Amino acid sequence: MPTQMLAARRGIITPEMNHVAQSEFVSAELVRDLVAAGKIVIPANINHRKLIPCGIGRILRTKVNANIGNSALTGDCTAELEKLRQACKFGADTVMDLSTGGNITVIRQEIIKHSTIPLGTVPVYEIVARAGAKNLGGNTLMQVIKAQAEQGVDYMTIHAGLLKHHVPIALKRKLGIVSRGGALIAAWMKENDRENPFYERFDEILEICRQYDVTLSLGDGLRPGCLADASDEAQFAELAELGNLVKRCRQAGVQAMVEGPGHVPLDQIEMNMLKERELCDDAPFYILGPVVTDCAPGYDHLTAAMGGMVGAFHGAAMLCYVTPKEHIGLPNADDVARGLTAFKIAAHAADIALHRPHARDKDDEISDARAIFDWDKQFSCAIEPERPKRYRQEALAVSTPLPASHGSEFCTMCGPDFCSVRLSARLKKES
Amino acid sequence: MPTQMLAARRGIITPEMNHVAQSEFVSAELVRDLVAAGKIVIPANINHRKLIPCGIGRILRTKVNANIGNSALTGDCTAELEKLRQACKFGADTVMDLSTGGNITVIRQEIIKHSTIPLGTVPVYEIVARAGAKNLGGNTLMQVIKAQAEQGVDYMTIHAGLLKHHVPIALKRKLGIVSRGGALIAAWMKENDRENPFYERFDEILEICRQYDVTLSLGDGLRPGCLADASDEAQFAELAELGNLVKRCRQAGVQAMVEGPGHVPLDQIEMNMLKERELCDDAPFYILGPVVTDCAPGYDHLTAAMGGMVGAFHGAAMLCYVTPKEHIGLPNADDVARGLTAFKIAAHAADIALHRPHARDKDDEISDARAIFDWDKQFSCAIEPERPKRYRQEALAVSTPLPASHGSEFCTMCGPDFCSVRLSARLKKES
C-alpha cells in the first residue's frame, strides 16, 4: 500500500486527492502533482477508518489545528472526548492529542475512533510518560512510534532537527527552549552526550511512516518563546536542518510538513514564512501562532490569531490554534471553542486576502442579509453563530419596547431613527 | 489664545507638546515641528480642564479610542460614566461620546468633568436628536458645534467630505452608506437637493475650532460597510475631498485628522494607508478597524483588531476600537473592556513591529518573569492582568495537589515533569 505521495508520483489520483480537489475548488491533477512534489500533504493513515481527508498546502484553504490532551495534573478521557467534539463543532481541520498524563493509549484510541478529521500526536510525550525522561533514547522510542502508526495516527510531530550542537546556542537565549519535546530531547542529549535519537533513527521512523502513510510534522524544538528570541541563530539553524529532513522524507516517499514559530514580532513574520519556503522547498508550513506580543497572557488566542492571519497571508498552510489559557494552564472545552473561533477568523481573513476560490462567499451573503435585516441569515452565515444570537436576544430584552411597526429593521446600537442601514435602504429605494 | 498648531508655527513648545514628547520618548522640537505641519495633532480644548494631553500621529505610539454613548433604546448617564471608567481602566487613549438618545448635553458635561483623556463627539447626532433629521441643515447645526466646543470637547467628527454628487455612487454599493452621520447627511441632501451643510459652513466651523482649539476629525461618511464595497470609487472620491479639507484646516490653523475604513480585506489595508498619506498629506489617520471579514458577528473586536494592527503597522495613527457587539447592539461596560483589550494588543503589536522607543520593554520583562516563574511579575506586566490571574487561580484549584517541593514552578498546561521552562532553566544552570 503506497503513500499518497508515492501514488501521486505514479500518476494516480487517489480518492483522497479527489476529495481534496473538490472541497478546495481546484483540479485533481493539480492536487496530485503537488502531493507528488511534497507541496501538499494529505495526512491519512491507512488505519484511520472514519477519516474525511484534508489537504494541507500553501495554495489550499488555510487549515486550523486544535490541540487537546491531558496533563499529569488534569484531564481524563471523557474530558478529552468533549474537547474533540468541541473542536469539530467549532471547525477544527485537524486535532492533535498532546496528552502527557495517564491513559494516553486509551484516550488516543477513543479519539481515533470518534474523529473524522486527521489526528496528530507528539510521540515523545508517550515515550517519556512510559519510559521516563532519562530513557527517552531507548527502545520505547520506536515501539511507541510503531504502535501509534498502527493505531491510525495521521501525522506525528518528530523533533529530529534539533541537534546536539544547537543546544548551547539555544541556551543563550532569554527563554531557552520552550518546546516541551525540544526541551526533553535537549536535556537527554546533554545528559548522555549523544545525538538526538529521533535524528539517529530517522530512517527507521521513515520506514514506519511509509508503511502506514503517516505524515511527518517536522517539529521546531527551538521555536522562539519570546519576541527577544525570534529569528535567531538557534531557530534558523534548526530550520535549515528541517529542510534537510524534508528532502529525506521526500526521497522515502513520506509526506512531510514543517512546524514553525512561536513568538515573532509582526515585522518579522513575512521574512519567516519566506525563509521556510526557501530552506524547506515549500513543504507545507504549520505554524504555532505566531504570537505578536509576549505581554497579553489570558488573551493569547488573540495575539496568536493576529500573527497567524499574517503568517497565512504570507504562505503558512496550517495554523495551530492557541487558547486563552496559553502560558497559564490546560485549556478546557470552552477555551477550545474560543481559541478555534479566533483562528477560524484569522484563517478566513487570510483566505479572502489570498483570493482563494469562493473564500468571500459567506461575507457577501451576510452583507446582503445585513442590508435587508435578515437576522436569521446573518446568524447562519456567521463563523460562530451562538454568540451573536445570544447578543441580539439580550439586547432586545433590555431595550425600550418599540411600536410593532418598526419590525426588526434595526439594532440597539443605533435604534431605528439613527440606523444607517435603514436610511441607506430607503435612499436606494427612492433613487 | 492660539491653537497648538498656531503656537507650534510660531516656534513655541507648549506644555502639551512637552508632555507628549516626554511620554513618547521623542524630542519636543520634533513634536512641535510635526504639530506645525499637521502631522501630529494634540486634541486639547482650552476648556477641558482635567485633560492630560495626548499626541496622535504616525510617528507616535499607536493610540486607541473607545466609543461610548447611549442610543434612543438604551443607556443612561450612570451607565455611560461607568463605561468611561471602564475605558480609562482598560487603557483608552481617547474616548468618543456617540450618544444619540436622551440627555446628550448632561452626559457629555459629566464625561468632560470626569475625563482626563481627550473627548471626541459627532455633533450631527445631537443636531438630529434636537432638531430632527429633516432640519439637519438649519441653525441648530452651528449652535450645537459652538456649544460643544465651549463645553470642552477636544475633537469632533465632521462629515464634510461627503458631497451631493457622491451619493448616487455610494448607493450602487452592496451596503450603501453605513456611517450613521453619513447616511443622515446623504438623506438630507437628497431630500433637499442641496449640498452638505457641514461642507457649506466649513469656514464657520473652522472659526469655532480655532477659537477653542477643537481638533477636527474629518469623518468618512462613505466608509465601506462590507468587503465587497472596500476601496471603491465612493470611498476614494470622499477621501480625496477630505484631503482638500485637510488643507483648509491647516490654512486656518486648525488641527485635523482623517477618519478611515471600515471593512477592508487584509490585502488592501496597506494600499489604503498609503493612499490616505498621499491624498491627505500625512494627516493623522484614525481608522475604524478595519474589519477583515464580514462574517464574524459577535467577534468583531477580533476581526477589527486584526485589521487595526496591520493598519497601524502601515501608518495609521489611531485605532477606533470595535466591541464584540458591533453589528448587533449597543455595547455595555464589559464589551468596552473586551474591545479595548483586543485593540490595546493590536496597537502594542504594531508599535513593537515599528520599533517605537521602549515598545518592547514589557515584553522583555514578562519573558524574564516567565523564565523564573515569577507569576506576580507576569501579571503586573500584562496588558490586562485580571483574566490571567483568574485563570491561574482556577487552574490550580482543579489540578491534582502536588508535593510542596514543586513550588510554583510550573503551570497546569504541562505539569512540572513536562515543563519546558523548568527543564530549560535546569539546563542553563548546568551549562
Q: What pLDDT tens digit does each residue of chain B (431 aa) get?
A: 589 999 999 999 999 999 999 999 999 999 999 999 999 999 999 999 999 999 999 999 999 999 988 766 666 788 888 889 999 999 999 999 988 877 888 889 999 999 999 999 999 999 999 999 999 999 999 999 999 999 999 999 999 999 999 999 999 999 999 999 999 999 999 999 999 999 999 999 999 999 999 999 999 999 999 999 999 999 999 999 999 999 999 999 999 999 999 999 999 999 999 999 999 999 999 999 899 999 999 999 999 999 999 999 999 999 999 999 999 988 888 999 999 999 999 999 999 999 999 999 999 999 999 999 999 999 999 999 999 999 999 888 876 665 555 566 767 777 777 788 888 888 888 87
Q: Residues of A with CB below 8 A from B347's CB? A: none
The answer to whether residues B290 and B306 touch, using CB atoms and an 8 Å cutoff, is: no
Q: What is the pLDDT of residue A417?
A: 74
A71: chain B residues, CB-CB within 8 Å: 412-415, 418
pLDDT at residue number B60? 98
Q: Could you give the angle at the alpha carbon of A132 between the alpha carbons of A128 and A134, nearest 5°?
A: 105
Question: Which band of pLDDT confidence, cut at 50, 70 and 90, is reported for residue A76?
Answer: confident
Kindly report the number of other CB atoms within 10 A of residue B125's CB atom.
24
Residues of chain B contacting residue A370, judged by C-beta atoms under 8 Å apart: 175, 225-226, 294, 327
The mean pLDDT value for A323-327 works out to 94
Instruction: Mark yes or no for CB contact A328/B371 under 8 Å.
Output: no
Q: What is the pLDDT of residue B404?
A: 56
pLDDT at A223: 97
Burial class (CB in 10 A: 0-12, 13-18, 19+), A359: buried
Q: What's the mean pLDDT in A313-331? A: 94
Give the side-chain half-sphere CA count within 13 A for B370. Answer: 29
The string of pLDDT tens digits covering residues A155-193 is 999 999 999 999 999 999 999 999 999 999 999 999 999
- Residue B287: beta bridge partners? B260, B319
- Please give the pLDDT value at position B313: 98
- pLDDT tens for residues A238-294? 999 999 999 999 999 999 999 999 999 999 999 999 999 999 999 999 999 899 999
List, as one string, the DSSP characters of B93-109.
SEEEE---SS-HHHHHH
Contact between B227 and A352 (Cβ < 8 Å): yes
Residue B400 has a pLDDT of 62
Q: Are B361 and B348 in contact (CB under 8 A)?
A: no
**3-class DSSP state of A371:** helix
CA distance A2 to chain B (A): 36
- CB atoms closer than 10 angstroms to residue B54: 24
β partners of residue A136: none
Q: Which three cell numbers, joined as nine digits, stand for A169?
A: 546556542
Best residue in A269, A310, A328 for a mutation probing chain B (most B CBs within 10 Å) = A328
Contacting residues of A for B431, CB less than 8 Å apart: 168, 171, 190
Asked if B428's CB is within 8 angstroms of A186's CB, the reply is no
Query: DSSP secondary-structure letter at B53?
Result: P
Strand-pairing partners, residue A63, are A318
| Interface touch A424/B349, C-beta < 8 Å | no
The C-alpha atoms of residue A162 and residue A221 are separated, in whole angstroms, by: 6
What are the chain A neighbours of B165 within 8 Å (beta carbons)? none
In B, which residues are within 8 Å of A100 by CB distance?
Answer: 414-415, 417-418
Instruction: Give me the residues paired with residue B364 across strands.
Output: none
Task: For B331, list phi and psi in degrees, rounded to 5.
Answer: -70, 150
Phi, psi of A172 (to 5 degrees): -75, -15
- Give me the mean pLDDT over the A380-407 stretch: 81
pLDDT at B223: 97
Q: How far is B274 from chain A (nearest CA, A)?
A: 17
Q: Is A403 helix (H, G, I), strand (E, B) or coil?
A: coil
Pinpoint the alpha helices (H) of B372-413.
Answer: 375-381, 386-398
Residue of A nearest to B225 (CA): A367
Query: What integer pLDDT is reported at residue B407 of this predicted model?
Result: 63
Name the pLDDT band for A407 (thresholds 50, 70, 90): low
Chain A CB contacts of B325 under 8 Å are 391, 395, 413
Q: What angle do CA A263, A269, A86 make, to 5 degrees?
A: 60
- Which of A413, A417, A419, A428 to probe the B interface (max B CBs under 10 A)? A413
* pLDDT at residue A404 tops 80: no
Closest-CA residue in chain A for B174?
A368
Q: Which of B161, B151, B75 is nearest to B113 (CA)?
A: B151
Q: What confidence tens digit (pLDDT) does each residue in A1-34 have? A: 589 999 999 999 999 999 999 999 999 999 999 9
Q: Which residues contact B404 (CB under 8 A, 6 or more apart)?
A: none
Q: Which amino acid is at B211?
A: Q
Q: What is the pLDDT of residue A73?
A: 63
**Where are the alpha helices (H) located in A289-360, listed in sequence order?**
300-313, 333-353
Please state, rounded to an integer, the average pLDDT across all residues of chain A: 93
Tell me the mean pLDDT in the region A370-387.
95
Closest to B45 measured CA to CA, from B203, B156, B157, B199: B156
Record: contact B302-A298, CB cut-off 8 A: no
- pLDDT top residue among B229 and A414: B229
Q: How many CB atoms lie within 10 A of CB B59?
A: 18
* Nearest neighbour of A424 by CB, restricted to B176, B398, B415: B176
Q: Is B78 exposed, middle or buried (0-12, 13-18, 19+ CB in 10 A)?
A: exposed
Residues of A in contact with B379 (CB under 8 A): 297
Query: Which of B72, B298, B302 shows the shortest C-beta gap to A305?
Result: B302
pLDDT tens per residue, range A90-103 = 999 999 998 887 78
What is the pTM assigned to this prediction? 0.96
Shortest Cα distance, chain A CAs vs residue B102, angstroms: 12
Q: What is the DSSP letter of A51?
A: P
Q: How far apart are CA B282 and CA B166, in angstroms?
A: 24
Q: CB pairs under 8 A, 24+ apart, for A78-84?
A: A79/A332, A79/A333, A80/A107, A80/A110, A80/A111, A81/A110, A81/A111, A81/A114, A82/A333, A83/A331, A83/A332, A83/A333, A83/A336, A84/A111, A84/A114, A84/A115
Do the chains contact at B367 and A227, CB–CB below 8 Å? yes
Q: Grid coordinates 488573540 are at which residue?
A: A302
Using the beta-carbon criterion (under 8 Å), do A71 and B388 form an inter-chain contact? no
The pLDDT of residue B417 is 74
- Nearest-angstrom CA–CA distance, A197 and A130: 16
Whether residues A353 and B265 touch (CB distance < 8 A) is answered with: yes
Q: What is the pLDDT of residue A232?
A: 97
Note the pLDDT of residue B189.
97
Does residue A229 surpass a pLDDT of 80? yes
